[in-house]
């Protein structure tokens, strides 16, 4: 028996969990390199060195460099899709759901996997992954556009072109991933709240 009452032999679950946590470590290390240097400029030897292992070790957990990138963007997109679906399903008028969606979207873009989505051009992936990547982005865009269209229909949003409005919103939010600096003055919440307010109310002053 061990000091803490457990055996020194790890169970199958323990080993499986350890494997998962190592996979995880590869992903979080790699995504930071990708975000800092770009996919092509990142080499797996550097990632491996940072993890204090060698390159072939990484290949025990992923079958290719691209699979690592794809898993990163998949996670980022999953996070965005979650916030989009949650907001879409929430009650209230279109404007309220849009506000919630934008706020949470902005927060995701300040985190590693979210940043990776915005910084990864489709062309960076092979044909198969690119197809999936685009499909996921289309889904999210459809939800965003749908919520905006709902708001325009229920009178809570100014009438207009929902596609263009969605692209404007997506642009402002995705760009957060480019300029956000964790060491900067603005917290993710500051950014999210301020950006939502600006996009909803506009820049122009409307006081009489």
Under the rule (CB under 8 A), what is the footprint of a second copy? Answer: 36-38, 40-41, 95, 98, 119, 121, 123-124, 148, 151, 155-161, 164-165, 167-176, 178-179, 186, 190-191, 194-195, 197-206
Which residue stretch of 57-65, 91-99, 155-163, 184-192 sits at the interface with DNA (rule: CB under 7 A)?
57-65
Which among 35, 100, 101 has a CA at the least distance from the CA of 68?
35
Does 9 help bind DNA (rule: CB under 7 A)? yes
State the helix-helix crossing angle for 127-153 and 94-108, rounded to 10 degrees: 150
CA–CA separation, 64 and 105 (whole Å): 29
Does 85 help bind DNA (rule: CB under 7 A)? no
For residue 186, give the H/E element and its range. Answer: none
CA–CA separation, 58 and 49 (whole Å): 11
Query: What SS3 class is residue 2?
Result: coil
Residue 110 · residue 176 · CB < 8 Å: yes
Binding partner at 54 among a second copy, DNA, none, C-beta below 5 to 8 Å by kind:
DNA
16 contact partners, CB below 8 Å, separation of at least 6 = none
Does 11 help bind DNA (rule: CB under 7 A)? yes
Does 37 help bind DNA (rule: CB under 7 A)? no
Does 52 help bind DNA (rule: CB under 7 A)? yes
Both tokens of 159, joined, read: 């009438």
Which residue stretch of 53-61, 112-120, 166-174, 178-186 sits at the interface with DNA (rule: CB under 7 A)?
53-61
CA–CA separation, 187 and 111 (whole Å): 12
Does 123 help bind DNA (rule: CB under 7 A)? no
By rule CB under 7 A, what count of residues binds DNA?
26
Minimum CB separation from a second copy for residue 8, in Å? 46
**Interface positions with DNA (CB under 7 A):** 8-12, 15, 18-19, 22, 42-45, 48, 52-57, 59-60, 63-66
């Amino acid at each position: 028996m061990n000091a803490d009452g457990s055996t020194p032999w790890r169970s199958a679950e323990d080993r499986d969990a350890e494997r998962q946590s190592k996979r995880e470590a590869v992903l979080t290390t790699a995504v930071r390199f990708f975000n800092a240097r770009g996919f092509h400029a990142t080499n797996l030897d550097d990632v491996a060195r940072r993890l204090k292992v060698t390159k072939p070790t990484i290949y025990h957990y992923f079958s290719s460099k691209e699979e690592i990138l794809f898993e990163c963007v998949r996670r980022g997109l999953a996070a965005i899709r979650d916030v989009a679906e949650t907001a879409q399903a929430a009650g209230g008028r279109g404007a309220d759901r849009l506000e919630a969606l934008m706020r949470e979207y902005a927060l995701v873009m300040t985190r590693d996997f979210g940043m990776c989505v915005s910084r990864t051009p489709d062309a960076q992936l092979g044909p198969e992954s690119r197809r999936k990547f685009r499909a996921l982005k289309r889904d999210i865009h459809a939800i965003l556009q749908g919520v905006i269209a709902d708001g325009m229909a229920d009178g809570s949003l100014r009438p207009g072109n929902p596609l263009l409005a969605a692209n404007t919103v997506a642009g402002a939010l995705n760009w957060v991933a480019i300029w956000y600096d964790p060491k900067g003055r603005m917290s993710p919440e500051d950014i999210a709240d301020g950006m939502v307010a600006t996009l909803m109310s506009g820049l122009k002053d409307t006081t009489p």
